[in-house]
Amino acid sequence: MIASVLTVQALFFADGGLLALGANIFNLGVFPAFVAYPFIYRRIVGERLSPTRVVVGSIAGALVGLSLGALAVVLETSFSGISDLPFGTFLALMLPIHLAIAIVEGLVTAVVVLYITRLQPEILARAARRQPVGGLALRRVIASLAVAAVLTGGVLAWFASGHPDGLEWSISGVTRKPEFDGTPTALKDEIATVQEQTSFLPDYDFRAGEAPAGSTADSEPGWGTPSSGRSLAGLVGGGLTLLMAGSLGLVLRGRP
């Protein structure tokens, strides 16, 4: 799922470089799925989905997963040979900010898990036993999560923070610039051109001059301001992610 999210972000919203896509998938997908979940979350929660265990397990898993991902970013940047960011300073900024982010992500995860547990507890019980969920009544769960996704992408996107994310904040703390300017190469220029052509809603909004009448795209909408561009990006992004993840699921269905 996280690979689908990152691919959609990079290709269609110009969020994250295409050359860094593999590293992003590894940092944000491998550590949570193959380290934090089996060795932290499952050991704490087990098959007893009590609220306390779910909250503690979700926060602990997020702390471990995001901390390892942040450490990997620093190591990858250092070993790349194209950055002169001081290792110690970069790491000292990356870890604390991602620990704070992890607590929020852990709480959100716990809320979703507890909601599904209340609506259809057998889903997560079978997942813990690595059993298929075929035959279960999933209509209410799917419908409610779909409504939540539409509201989040279509409305709550208006309240998205305009502040730098954890990586940008850390880089800014070292270089006083929101992004790291690497050495320009022909390959990077070619990839940037491809990304510019595929991203129809760069930065999750209409391109300047392409917004429909009445849109706020050309006036930088503030926090909480209705934005047709952001709503469209949220809805299209959610749909594309569902389509990509669902297609991969169908391809891998039945395989060990």
Provide CATH code, domain 1-129+165-183: 1.10.1760.20
pLDDT at 209: 66
- At 143, the amino acid letter reads A
| CA separation for the pair 14, 18 (Å, rounded) | 9
CA distance linking residue 37 with residue 61, whole number of Å: 6
Question: pLDDT tens digit string along 117-144?
Answer: 999 989 888 887 878 888 888 899 999 9
d(CA 242, CA 145): 12
Of 210, 200, 167, nearest to 70 by C-alpha is: 167
* Res 181: pLDDT: 65
Q: In the chain, which ranges are E strands?
A: none
- Which of 81-90, 205-214, 228-237 has the weakest average pLDDT? 205-214
Q: Domain residues of the chain, as ranges?
A: 1-129+165-183, 136-160+200-256
User: How far is the CA of 255 from the CAs of 117, 125, 245, 252, in angstroms?
Assistant: 27, 21, 16, 6
Confirm if 12 and 201 have CB atoms less than 8 A apart: yes
d(CA 241, CA 233): 12
Residue 113 phi/psi, 5-degree rounding, is: -60, -45
Q: Cα separations (Å) of 89 from 7, 12, 69, 71, 85?
A: 30, 33, 17, 12, 8
pTM of the model: 0.86
- Please say if the pLDDT value at position 195 is more than 90: yes
Of 177, 154, 155, 174, the residue nearest 164 (C-alpha): 177
Q: Is the pLDDT of residue 166 over 70?
A: yes
Question: Which residue, chain included where needed, has tokens 């300047």?
Answer: 208
